Structures are given as structure tokens and as C-alpha cells.
Chain A
Amino acid sequence: MSASRRLDALLAAGVGFVAGVPCSYLKTFFAGCRELPLSSFLPAVREDHAVAACAGAWLGGTRAAAVMQNSGLGYCLEVLTSLHLMYHVPLPMLVSDRGDPSDFEEHRILGQRTRQLLDLFEIPWAEARPGVEGDDASWLVAASERERRPAVLLVGKGADS
């Protein structure tokens, strides 16, 4: 058991490698990651490196998940399209859902288009629901494996558990 039920649920769903860049909406999740073995958690410096490392881990047979703020989707786009989507690499992703009108302005332009961006690249997504972390993780892993592509669980304020 780690500090994060969402992390525990991903581990229970078979995830053995996590790479990501922190977001204040995901503090609990990242607190859990610090308890993982050194070979299972990559504290990435930017989100594109996180998803690329996940592809490497998957090539080697380890189910890998990426975690980031939705602003990081912008940095990831080239890698998600010319690596994951092109090579059919499954990638469960936990992405914070920033950018509502009460959020800081630097989060709003990309944040308010997160769902459109994912739809544009046919990346399946769902909203995280507090209390059913196991079901959320099962959906996320199954969706990415079934379609062999990234799938996104959007974690809104208060859904980090």
C-alpha cells in the first residue's frame, strides 16, 4: 500500500513502471511514487521524455504509465503521434484536468481544449471518479491495451486520492 490509492490501483492493474512530471493536482499520486523501487519510477524533466521512456519499458515487457499536467500534453504530442500511435504502443496516462475558469490563466488555453485535443487524435479518455480508483485503473489499462494506443484518465481537482 502506498500513499496513493490511484497508484495502488494502477499497480494492481499490472503497471510496473511509472514516469511523469508533477502537478499540484496529483500531489498524492506523486507522494506514492516516491515509495516505488528506483527502477519503477522515472521522475522525468519533461513530459515527452516520460512517455518515450514508457514506450521503452513497454518494448521490454513492462506495462508503463505516464502521469502529468494537461499542459504537458503539448510537449508530448510529437512523441504520442510518431511513437505511440504509429507503433501501436499502449500507454495508460493520468493527466490533471486544469484550466476551468477559476484556474490560473496560464492553464486555461490548453486546459479548456484538453478533451478536443484527445478527441482529435482519437485518444480515449474518461474522468477520474473519487472512490472507485480500481475501476478507473481497470478501464484505463484495458482501453490502452485493447486499442494499443494512449488512453487518458483526466484527474480533476479533488480526484487525486
Chain B
Amino acid sequence: MTRAEAVALVLPLLADDDIVVAADGAISREAYRAHDRSRTFYMLGSMGQVASIALGLAMTRMERVVALDGDGNLLMGFGGLALVGGLRPANLYHLVLDNGCYATTGGQPALSQDVDLAAVAAGAGYRWARRCLSGEHARGAMEAWLAAPGPALLDLAVDASDADPAPRVPMTPEEMAARVRAALAVDPE
């Protein structure tokens, strides 16, 4: 299963009012291409902060917040994992699309090949954390993850190949933020 296929598989499983934080780089672009939604925040920079942005949302909103993260991204901001595990917001759902490398910068290997991210999440205090190694079982694993008590983390293995790259999201950063806030009825449209 490619990362893009995993992104396309998870988005239709979410509720309409779920708030999504999509990691900077390929994950945001693939989320936009597969299923754009006004309650998705597309990150462009600030690598390592997917869980922390999701945590700020989860602590202050009632809806479920879904963090679509990458393995390199999560490793860069490992402190964010400790914050989620320590504060334990029940409405935070963390999906790591784990290709074991830094795909967009040339496929350099990442430490996720040796570090068990689900075990770290469980140790940090997530109420549910599992690893899924097979694309064949990805859908069932996602359903189990979304039905589990939060905060829940699914570390899903995906192919390292980066064929058919998705184009950049055609919105300015300001438009991206304004659209999420309008969808959350914070600012008028």
C-alpha cells in the first residue's frame, strides 16, 4: 500500500465534523487530492508539530481531531508524543503513515525502521497504540483505531515509493487557516 492509498483509505472513514491536521509535505498534498474537506488543516512547514497542533485543537474543541502524521515528522517532534500521552485528550486520533524514510527529500532512511513508534506511544500514555505492517489489513486496522478509546495511535507501514506525487495545495496559507476557522464557525465565511 502506498502512502497516497492509505490517505485515500482513511479520509472516507472519518465523520464529517472530524477535524484533520495533515502533515506538511506529501501527506497534505495527498489528502487534498484524495478528499479535500474544509475541516482539514494543511500544514506546509513547521515539521514535527502535527501532534502539537492537533493537541491544541483537541484540548479546546469537542470534535474528534485526527492527526495525519509521517514517521520522520513524528520523530522530529517526539516531545509532542509525550504531551499527547501525558495529557491524554480522549478526542485525539493519531495516524502515522510510516514509510521508514524521508521520502520527499530522496528516501534517506529514518530511525522509525528501528524505533517502534506504537510502543513509544503506549509508553507515553496513549490509551491505544498498535502497529499494522500489511496493506491488506490496513482498513481493518483503521476501523479498530477509530473505534478505540483515545488518544489512539496507529502506526501504519506504507511503501517507501513516491511515484505519482500530488501537486501542491492551490491555496495560500492564509486561505487555508481562514477556511478551517470558517468551517469551525469561528470566523464568518
Is B46 within 8 A of A17, CB to CB? no
Is A60 within 8 A of B184, CB to CB? yes
- State the CA gap A160–B34 with chains docked (Å): 50
Q: Mark A135-157, 1 if CB is under 8 A from B, else 0.
A: 00000000000000000000000
Task: Pick the residue among A40, A49, A60 that contacts B186 (CB under 8 A).
Answer: A60
Q: Is B45 positioned at the interface, with any CB of A under 8 Å from its CB?
A: yes
Q: Mark A24-63, 1 if CB is under 8 A from B, else 0.
A: 0000000000000011101011101110111111111110
Is A82 within 8 A of B56, CB to CB? no
Q: Is A81 positioned at the interface, with any CB of B under 8 Å from its CB?
A: yes
- State the CA gap A62–B185 with chains docked (Å): 12
Show 16 residue pairs from A and B whose CB-CB distance is below 8 angstroms, ordered by the A residue. Answer: A39-B60, A45-B79, A48-B52, A49-B83, A52-B53, A52-B80, A53-B83, A56-B53, A56-B54, A59-B56, A59-B186, A60-B61, A60-B186, A79-B49, A86-B44, A87-B174
Is B184 within 8 A of A82, CB to CB? no
Would A46 and B53 be within 8 Å (CB), given that A17-B60, A82-B46, A88-B177 are in contact?
no
Is A59 within 8 A of B55, CB to CB? no
Q: Tell me, rounded to whole Å, the shortest Cβ–Cβ distance linking B95 to chain A.
A: 17
Would A56 and B21 be within 8 Å (CB), given that A42-B55, A82-B45 are in contact?
yes
- State the CA gap A86–B173 with chains docked (Å): 6
Give the number of residues in B that approach A within 8 Å (Cβ atoms).
Answer: 35
- State the CA gap A39–B88 with chains docked (Å): 11
Q: Is B77 positioned at the interface, with any CB of A under 8 Å from its CB?
A: yes
Is A59 within 8 A of B181, CB to CB? yes
Q: Is A94 positioned at the interface, with any CB of B under 8 Å from its CB?
A: no
A residues touching B (Cβ–Cβ < 8 Å)? Answer: 16-17, 19, 38-40, 42, 44-46, 48-50, 52-62, 64, 78-79, 81-83, 86-89
- State the CA gap A53–B176 with chains docked (Å): 17
Is A64 within 8 A of B56, CB to CB? yes
Task: Pick the residue among A45, A57, A81 that contacts B56 (CB under 8 A).
Answer: A57
Q: Tell me, rounded to whole Å, the shortest Cβ–Cβ distance linking B173 to chain A.
A: 4
Q: Tell me, rounded to whole Å, the shortest Cβ–Cβ distance linking B61 to chain A.
A: 4
